[in-house]
Structure 1
Amino acid sequence: MGASFDGDGVNFAVFSAHATLIELCLFSSDGRKEMVRLPFRERDGDIWHMHVGGLTPGTVYGFRAHGPYTPERGHRFNPHKLLLDPYARALEGRLRWSDAVMGYKIGSSRGDLSFDTRDSAFAVPKAVVTDTSFTWGDDTAPRIPRSESVIYEAHVKALTQLHPGVDKPLRGSYLALASDPVIAHLQKLGVTAIELLPVQAFPDDRFLVAKGLRNHWGYNTLAFFAPEPRYMAKGALWEFQTMVRRLHTAGIEVILDVVYNHTAEGDQFGPTLCYRGLDNASYYRLADGGRHYVNDTGTGNTLNLTHPMVLRMVMDSLRYWVEVCHVDGFRFDLATVLGREPHGFDPNGGFFDAIRQDPVLSRVKLIAEPWDIGPGGYQLGGYPHPFHEWNDQFRDGVRRFWRGDPGMTPDLAKRLLGSSEQFDHSGRSATSSINFLTAHDGFTLEDLVSFTVKRNWANGEDNRDGHSDNHSDNMGVEGPSDDPAVQAARALRKRNLLATLMLSQGVPMLLAGDELGHSQGGNNNAYAQDNAVTWLDWSQPDTGLTEFIARLAALRRAHPVLRQRRFLHARKRAADGLADVVWLKPDGTYPTPQDWHDPAFRALGVELRMAAEGFDPSADAVLAYFNCGAAVPLSLPKSATWELVLDSTRTDLTSGAAPAQLPAQSVLMFRSAPDEGSAKGEST
């Protein structure tokens, strides 16, 4: 599919089940002049194809599709609109918003049922025949075990645009992300994978351009095979490949946030750029006889993955990024859409069956955002192995516990053990949960402890956009504060949140910039802020917090008990008679049912060992306490000799004895000393 150079010329292949004629349009190298139109004369089933001798990589082209224009029946063919190849590997030019890109006449009394005859070629991006070869050398996928993964969610431009160690011409690009100082920072933090916000080519939405804004996040894909050109310094695929190769050399995986649930064409009043003009009735899920679009995504349209050729395109795209670009995994935006069959969400639906049996894709990391706005859209825990899932219940529960909301300690216990009530079924592992405190969508960590009310005015939507319930806490002052007491309280809260994240079962995910103290000024929906709101300021980093996160990552690496594959069920281990998990109160007693139901129960201890089913006598035990209340006396269990290795209230502490009190607003972690066996059997 798409354009393939074979040495003698280029073969073009494009799908359309309902077109009556498709034309190949060849353009000048700058994409400005249409040189010739060649009709496709060969068709095998619904695949139209032709070979054009003499063409080489760099050839600029597009398609025009003829057929019925009957929107009420789902068909919107309009040969006056130049169409992008769905398999385009590179783009020439960007979308220039004009009424000419619409298949209907703007302002017509017939609305989208009218027909526009203006040529759109001047305003739309074209496809470029691409040579995808690259010298990979000895590049090898890191293949970090799921249990050892620490993910860092980042935006290519926001992460690098202001980095003083990156050459100015490269800032904001793939090559900037591949630079030595950026990679060194990732290694220092201890992250094993960088998860990039969308890098598949996308346009700036018309309503944003009209307001002088841009689509910063990129969740509006136009070309599923082409890297976004705005992140290129040289305009070539090798830049992206170089980034991946250099990250791999550093032992860091690359995960792409991908959007296969909808396209940038919007609803019936959107532009005709590609899929709509090639075969609207096949590519999209339609309603009301075909005129309107199913909108389970909230963006105007929904891709029809129940159609075999649309599913093939998605699978081909995923394999392309793995095989040609060597990426290590994918995070699927609004993944419920991908599993929604005519009868509803199905974990054994076509998309999941296709990806799990694929010899390439079944071996990479797969992460689902387990919700959308469609019927039955919230599916946390409903995905099949080997999918990970973003766990918003971890985010909300941990935020609320540390905010001091009554009755949240039982919820904290669930999150510490990997949310087993959601994921412990069907042979899934305790690494199924992607635990996060913050993500691109919502407050940054700094704003989470500085604002109680969102401030999204810069988005131009009268502050109506974004979530209003953020479970945040300003520590007594709304917004920035010079008060040392407020600053200290905020710093401690951040450390407590981060310690909880890194000491929990599951896979932790950090948001880029949180380690620097990055603030978006209270904007919790900065999707259109391609500016200093989202660009990380490296000039005054919170080095103390960066070091604290690095310490947490090191502790996680050093103690396998913190990152187990098996869920813990408080079962006794046959080898030593010790339970794999024990809940404790600070005074050394066990919580009673009354304690668990007490809204004022605010301090919880947990003693962790390797799961009873996977006994490992060489692994240390870990004892951790989480206290969102006042200081209380502390009495450690006699099941081991315990060494204090973490105290969130004392950042300079690396090792020590147990304090007499569990400090207020604190996380403490102990590890068992080598003589644990002398006290075996004393814990129940």
Structure 2
Amino acid sequence: MPGPETSGEGVRFRVASPDATQLWLCLFDAGDRETRLPMSRDGEGLWTVDIAGAGPGTRYGIRADGPYDPGQALWFDPDKLLLDPYAQAIDRPFAYDPALAAPRGEGGDTAPLMPKGVVIAPLHPVAIQPPMFSPGGLIYELQARSFTMQHPDIPAGQRGTISALAHPTIIDHLRRLHVGAVELMPVNAWIDERHLPPLGLRNAWGYNPVSYFALDPRIAPGGLSELRDTVAALHAAGIGVILDMVYNHNGESDMLGPTLSLRGLDARSAFRRDADGNLINDTGTGNSIDCNHPAMQSLILASLRHFVTQTGVDGFRFDLAPALGRMPDGFHPGAPLLTAMRQDSLLADRIMIAEPWDIGSGGYQLGRFGEPWLEWNDRYRDDVRRFWRGDPAMLGALATRLAGSSDLFGAGEHTRTVNFIAAHDGFTLRDLASYAHRHNEANGEDNRDGHGENFSWNNGVEGASDDPAIEAARQRDVKALLSTLFCSRGTIMLTAGDEFGRTQRGNNNSYAQDNAISWLDWTGRDREIEAHAFALAAQRAGSAGLSGTKLLTDSDVEWLDEHGAPLTSEDWENPARRRLIMRYRGTGLALCVNGEVEGCRFQASGQSIDVPGRTIVTLEGQL
């Protein structure tokens, strides 16, 4: 397999580049002086060199020579220092510079601009345990940097890092939410998109990776050991860890992008191209990884195994996951890479979550990944938002989402849905009820970026308001959205800070806001909303009816109007109806949903309860 391999005698470096005419291993000393050593090629295009006496801490890069014809996916340029795709660590973060994208012969030597790969000592493999997270639990999505950058209880030097997640204050917060697993937004080393530096902006999310092994030093200054120790601490608290992986593209972008790693070594294997040789852009980022090519399948599988064996993570969420299964004739759930992942002895039992859409042809694949995949459910997101916004004829859709989305996942007995109302790439829960329109002016794209239709509302005033009535209405709406999420069948996902009313000032695409717009404001959090979330979490954790994954049918629940009468077909078809009782048979559990502004007395089985407007009330044995 490619990559550095340490032994008692030194390090063997192996790099795949089948179209190159020559590769050099470039070693860098403490003063950044470079020593170039030619590598030898075998018949399969794997280049090798043995360095006696080398060991952990060795800093290195690769240079490659060969034909230069970008129209044919040939970017060989010995002036470009390249990161070994299998390097497990880098010495500093990536920073975009136009010279990294300069044509051959025009940009000069990029070694001063490039992070160097670092040889690390192999960690003793962790004892692989069954995943700690079980479907039906709560996934807590967070970006390691923004999550603790402003947390007053985290030591200043630790804020914004993965290790901060192991702090007792953070673990206590997660446990009060009954978090089943944290989902870490990308931790692999990434680079800014080229339009950001001139705007004074930086990529804040990490969805632009250069390496599939090395962690980004900005969030993991302690390297792989930092992630491993944090996983262990979370596991000790009963909390699993899921990594968000971006295998659909890399940070080398389009035809004019930088040459950093795969592009300069083996672009023909790495990237999908059309009949004219142009890079296919099914991701909206400039390139699409060819997940059907054996070299890329091997790289992706090795990356996944690396994180399981070296850190013990419980699973993975896959960004734009149709890219992993796109064949020449479209998406197939049985595509080679997806099949290999399910059959791999180290990966078969891991939690696998698909974001089941990308922008390519046939890219919307919600419900098609099959067992054992979980899938982000944007239909849930939109239907719940539309119901609480007040759109007509949404009661039936809400009922379907509460019961597990059988219209999407009805092929088996259990739902595979991941229910969410807000995620990293959209409005926060608070902003859903505060902004009818996106406000992304700070992103420098004239407010054209981000989703245009968010099914959001503002309760009368766009943005911040000093009116107590408006603020009370927004707080009420956030509570209703949280209640809906925690009362829904299947796995649920909450984005960090939504449990206490975080705002991004109407920015629904904060990927470039590595600042207070995306950093969580822990001191200013809404304690009332937070208490509501804690109570919902405790209720869900203690109720098999709420936290199960079995798809609910009419044999499991009965649907009643607010007077306790069964809902008729006319009721379901009434576009103005916004109230119902969802009563679980034989359990005493009932949900009372009041989507109207006015309060209402709900009655059933000779009992009654007053439910305020725009509220869900969960009852045990009272109706």
State TM-score, norm by structure 2: 0.96
Write the letter of the residue equivalent to 2:569: P
How far apart are the structure 2 equivalents of 1:99 and 1:165?
40
* Residue number among 345, 350, 374 corresponding to 1:364 in the alignment: 350
Q: Does 2:26 align with 1:25?
A: yes
Map 1:662-681; keep pairs closer than 5 Å. 662-672=611-621
Query: CA offset at residue 606 of structure 1?
Result: 1.1
CA 53–44 in structure 1, closer or farther in 2 if over 3 Å, else same: farther
* Residue number among 382, 386, 410 corresponding to 1:396 in the alignment: 382
Match of 2:57 in 1: 58
Query: CA offset at residue 141 of structure 1?
Result: 5.9
Deviation readout 1:233-289 (Å, 9 max, x if unpaired): 4x4322222111111111111111111000000111111111011011111111243
Q: Which has the larger radius of gyration?
A: 1
Write the letter of the residue equivalent to 2:589: V
Write the letter of the residue equivalent to 1:50: V
Match of 1:260 in 2: 247
Q: Does 2:224 align with 1:240?
A: no
More contact order relative to length (CA 8 Å, sep ≥ 6): 2
* Residue number among 581, 589, 592 corresponding to 1:622 in the alignment: 589
Please say if residues 96 and 123 of structure 1, whose CA atoms lie closer than 8 Å, have aligned partners that are also in contact. yes
* Residue number among 258, 281, 292 corresponding to 2:268 in the alignment: 281
Number of residue-to-residue matches in the alignment = 621
Please say if residues 88 and 226 of structure 1, whose CA atoms lie closer than 8 Å, have aligned partners that are also in contact. yes
Q: Secondary structure at the match of 2:4?
A: strand
How far apart are the structure 2 equivalents of 1:49 and 1:277?
17
Query: CA offset at residue 117 of structure 1?
Result: 6.6
Map 1:74-89; keep pairs closer than 5 Å. 74-89=73-88
Write the letter of the residue equivalent to 1:122: P
Query: CA offset at residue 358 of structure 1?
Result: 0.9
Query: CA offset at residue 670 of structure 1?
Result: 1.8
Deviation readout 1:33-75 (Å, 9 max, x if unpaired): 21x2222224252322232211010001111122222233222
Q: Does 2:46 align with 1:40?
A: no
How far apart are the structure 1 equivalents of 2:45 and 2:406?
46
How far apart are the structure 2 equivalents of 1:75 and 1:664?
63
CA 38–561 in structure 1, closer or farther in 2 if over 3 Å, else same: same
Query: CA offset at residue 140 of structure 1?
Result: 5.4
Match of 2:364 in 1: 378
Q: Does 2:289 align with 1:295?
A: no
Write the letter of the residue equivalent to 1:256: L
Map 1:338-487; keep pairs closer than 5 Å. 338-425=324-411, 427=412, 429-430=414-415, 432-487=416-471
Please say if residues 134 and 238 of structure 1, whose CA atoms lie closer than 8 Å, have aligned partners that are also in contact. no
Map 1:531-546; keep pairs closer than 5 Å. 531-546=515-530
Unaligned segments of structure 1, at least 5 residues:
106-114, 571-578, 610-618, 639-656, 677-684
* Residue number among 560, 569, 581 corresponding to 1:593 in the alignment: 569
CA 304–476 in structure 1, closer or farther in 2 if over 3 Å, else same: same
How far apart are the structure 2 equivalents of 1:139 and 1:348?
26
Q: Does 2:89 align with 1:90?
A: yes
How far apart are the structure 1 equivalents of 2:263 and 2:239?
38
Match of 2:534 in 1: 550
Unaligned segments of structure 2, at least 5 residues:
none
Q: Secondary structure at the match of 1:669?
A: strand
How far apart are the structure 2 equivalents of 1:331 and 1:142?
14
CA 141–353 in structure 1, closer or farther in 2 if over 3 Å, else same: closer
Match of 2:166 in 1: 178
Match of 1:111 in 2: none
Match of 1:121 in 2: 111
Q: Secondary structure at the match of 1:38?
A: strand
CA RMSD of aligned residues (A): 1.9
Please say if residues 160 and 176 of structure 1, whose CA atoms lie closer than 8 Å, have aligned partners that are also in contact. yes
Please say if residues 139 and 248 of structure 1, whose CA atoms lie closer than 8 Å, have aligned partners that are also in contact. no
Match of 2:189 in 1: 201
Query: What percentage of residue pairs aligned between the two structures are identical?
Result: 45
Write the letter of the residue equivalent to 2:250: T
Match of 2:498 in 1: 514
How far apart are the structure 2 equivalents of 1:283 and 1:373?
19
Q: Secondary structure at the match of 1:207?
A: coil
How far apart are the structure 1 equivalents of 2:374 and 2:259?
35
Please say if residues 81 and 103 of structure 1, whose CA atoms lie closer than 8 Å, have aligned partners that are also in contact. no
Q: Secondary structure at the match of 1:289?
A: coil
How far apart are the structure 2 equivalents of 1:238 and 1:132?
10
Match of 1:130 in 2: 120
